[in-house]
Amino acid sequence: MELKLGDIAPNFKAQTTIGEIDFHDYLGNSWGVFYSHPADYTPVCTTELGRTAQLKAEFDKRNVKVIAISVDPLESHLGWIKDINETQNTEVNFPIIADPTKEVANLYGMIHPNASDTLTVRSVFVIGPDKKIKLTLTYPASTGRNFQEILRVIDSLQLTANHSVATPVDWKDGDECIIVNSIPTEDVPARFPKGHRIVKPYLRYTPQPNK
């Protein structure tokens, strides 16, 4: 199944390290980051899940709930969490889905047969409060994710969902934004009272509206 931006994130029920969940109920009115790791007791994944736990305060202030998944059984997850906590100096504070039947992984297209027909790749789905998929990222098993980039993208998604702006290359929270082309130039001063600058008729900048 190939999921596209704007699709409703498929719902499911699953066993996790915090008990059985209904995915949509778990997300509630929050944003969500749903990501897969190839296998338990693997080095790159150990660092990723540890980093996610360390960033809990950053996800919380953005109203984001995180949930991870691999095709290993629950008992394996519970044992591995002890290693993550020990080696990464943290406490895993989010659920990890046990998916030994690969049902959820296949529902989200997390297994890429040309890479591995048994292990999930490093998929990332950012899901909005409307349960629609806002972002997808896919990394190979050998490459760890950059969670600062994931936080940066969430900042952009949340900003652009509420204001008529886009974010330019290498944008980070607090930087100038681009006024979307659907706003006529004559309407810009009233819509963006913090000011604006015009580089080209199609390239107009304004200070970040929510700062």
**Sign of the alpha-carbon torsion through 128, 161, 124, 136:** positive
Only one residue has tokens 């900003």, namely: 159
Q: Is 8 helix (H, G, I), strand (E, B) or coil?
A: strand
**Sign of the alpha-carbon torsion through 30, 154, 93, 120:** positive
Closest CA to 64 of 97, 17, 32, 22: 32
45: annotated active-site residue = yes
Active-site residue identified among 45, 69, 154, 178: 45
Measured between alpha carbons, how far is 139 from 124 in angstroms, rounded to an integer?
A: 8
Residues 196 and 176 sit within 8 Å (Cβ to Cβ): no
Residues 176 and 205 sit within 8 Å (Cβ to Cβ): yes
* Length in residues, the chain: 211
CB atoms within 10 A of CB 194: 9
Residue 120 tokens read as 């999930």
Catalytic residues: 45
